[in-house]
Amino acid sequence: MAANRAILDATIRHAVFLERLKSNEVTKFAPFLKEIDRGLRERLTKADMTAYNRSRLEKLLKDVDSLLLGIFGRFTDQLQLDLVDIANYEAEFEAASLNNAMPAGVSLEAAVPTAEAIRAAILTNPLGVRGADGGKLLGSFIEDWTTAERTRVAGAIRQGFFEGQTNFQIIKNIRGTKALGYKDGILATTDRNAATVVRTAVQHVASQARMETAKANPKLVTGIRLIATLDSRTSQICRSLDQRTFPVNEGPRPPFHPNCRTSFVLITRLNEMFGKGATRASKGADGAGQVSADVTYYAWLKQQPAAFQDKALGPTRGKLFRNGGLSAERFASLQLDRNFAPMTLDEMKAVEPLAFERAGIN
Ligand SMILES: [Zn+2]
């Protein structure tokens, strides 16, 4: 089996494993959320807010905030420990997969980066997330989330107080209603955000740890190839970066946005091209299947029916994709600016007005 094909196969299997690992890590928030729920209920049922003045309200808010601070603190401490473990595991996995790919007769052994190097990389290299939350370090990415959750809970209590709501109403706003399965409360948002933060943080540490292995093996590794997920949920940036290659020390690395599933494979000197017959997983209109490993996201999407294309791209981009006369490659390059930020339809139109005309989009 060609070396890069072995690495690709292992990476794809591993990406599935990593998604499961993320889900497992997400479930660890549940007991902490329960604790928050219980703690808030206790404090809010004790207080008769209608009899409160401002200074008593501020005292209650302080009490609530220190409760939340403590619970989030314990959760994030545990998360950070788990993230370091995951990072070490990922670095070792990458070195092992390089070793497995070594052709017979090559007596090279892939180096595993030190635990200190891995730790430094995950903590001091920013997340690849673009946009308003872009460029954050892992520590502030996690901390800013907990701050936002604390602010949201305090806001609901304060607003309830000033609007003369009963404690029961305020509790309902925070917890949600039983009839809607508590999905309408503030804590449901907290839960969703926790899942996003955990998944994104795991993707970041996995990505950074694997890059450390790449950097520790300059004789073996020459670059990386980004691999997005072939289904209809893949984001604009990830669709457009699929199959793009970068040298080891250049270019963006996933996660490119919260909940990003994009991964990458290491390109080695062992074999310049992927072996013939290598495949990658896809989930198109006909369900799950395998396609050739070198097919790009948009080349794959060209094979899908119009309805699926619209589901993935949205109706306007779908129309442009089908009728604009653009190749899959050109369409991909039109999606992102020089800093890999997604282009709006207006920005795309300024670059390719003819394609819009051909597709009949005004
Ligand atoms: Zn993504």
C-alpha–C-alpha distance, residues 92 and 75, integer Å: 26
Compute the distance from residue 196 Cα to the ligand 1 centre, in Å. Answer: 12
Compute the distance from residue 229 Cα to the ligand 1 centre, in Å. Answer: 8
Compute the distance from residue 150 Cα to the ligand 1 centre, in Å. Answer: 28
The whole-number pLDDT of residue 277 equals: 63
Instruction: Give the residue among 274, 329, 281 at the shortest CA–CA distance from 302.
Output: 329
Residue 49: CB atoms within 10 A of its CB come to: 19
Residue whose pair of structure tokens reads 């300024």 in the numeric block: 350
Compute the distance from residue 332 Cα to the ligand 1 centre, in Å. Answer: 14
Q: How confident is the model at residue 258 (pLDDT cuts 50, 70, 90)?
A: very high
The whole-number pLDDT of residue 329 equals: 93
Compute the distance from residue 344 Cα to the ligand 1 centre, in Å. Answer: 17
Alpha helices in 29-166 (DSSP H): 30-46, 54-101, 115-124, 138-162
Compute the distance from residue 233 Cα to the ligand 1 centre, in Å. Answer: 9
What CA dihedral angle connects 322, 323, 325 and 330, to 10 degrees? -40
Asked if pLDDT for residue 46 goes beyond 90, the answer is no
The whole-number pLDDT of residue 341 equals: 87
Asked if pLDDT for residue 4 goes beyond 80, the answer is no
Asked if pLDDT for residue 272 goes beyond 50, the answer is no
Compute the distance from residue 155 Cα to the ligand 1 centre, in Å. Answer: 32
Compute the distance from residue 40 Cα to the ligand 1 centre, in Å. Answer: 35
- Element at 245 (helix H, strand E): strand 245-247
The whole-number pLDDT of residue 17 equals: 85
Compute the distance from residue 128 Cα to the ligand 1 centre, in Å. Answer: 10
Instruction: State the average pLDDT over residues 139-148.
Output: 97
Compute the distance from residue 80 Cα to the ligand 1 centre, in Å. Answer: 22
Compute the distance from residue 269 Cα to the ligand 1 centre, in Å. Answer: 27
Compute the distance from residue 88 Cα to the ligand 1 centre, in Å. Answer: 23
Let me know: does 150 contact 167? Beta carbons within 8 Å. Answer: no
Compute the distance from residue 285 Cα to the ligand 1 centre, in Å. Answer: 20
Compute the distance from residue 242 Cα to the ligand 1 centre, in Å. Answer: 10
Instruction: Give the residue among 67, 65, 18 at the shortest CA–CA distance from 38.
Output: 67
Compute the distance from residue 131 Cα to the ligand 1 centre, in Å. Answer: 13
Percent of the chain with pLDDT over 70: 97
Compute the distance from residue 129 Cα to the ligand 1 centre, in Å. Answer: 9
Q: What are the φ and ψ backbone dihedral angles of 210, each rounded to 5 degrees?
A: -70, -35
Spacing of C-alpha 264 from chain mean position: 13
Asked if pLDDT for residue 7 goes beyond 60, the answer is yes
- Average pLDDT value for the chain: 91
- Give the pLDDT confidence of 293-349 residue by residue, as tens digits: 889 999 999 999 999 999 999 999 999 999 999 999 999 999 999 888 899 999 999
The whole-number pLDDT of residue 292 equals: 86
Compute the distance from residue 82 Cα to the ligand 1 centre, in Å. Answer: 22
- Give the pLDDT confidence of 82-124 residue by residue, as tens digits: 999 999 999 999 999 888 887 777 778 899 999 999 999 999 9
Q: What is the DSSP letter of 179?
A: G
Supply 171's token pair: 């509790």
Compute the distance from residue 310 Cα to the ligand 1 centre, in Å. Answer: 18
Let me know: does 12 contact 264? Beta carbons within 8 Å. Answer: no
Q: What is the DSSP letter of 362?
A: -
Compute the distance from residue 256 Cα to the ligand 1 centre, in Å. Answer: 6
Q: How confident is the model at residue 221 (pLDDT cuts 50, 70, 90)?
A: very high
| Cis bond upstream, residue 305 (ω within 30) | no
At residue 231, what is the residue type? D
Compute the distance from residue 152 Cα to the ligand 1 centre, in Å. Answer: 27
The whole-number pLDDT of residue 271 equals: 59
Angle at CA of residue 75, ends 172 and 126, nearest 5°: 110
- Give the pLDDT confidence of 171-205 residue by residue, as tens digits: 999 999 999 989 999 999 999 999 999 999 999 99
Q: Is the sign of the CA dihedral 242, 248, 252, 256 positive or negative? A: positive
The whole-number pLDDT of residue 108 equals: 82
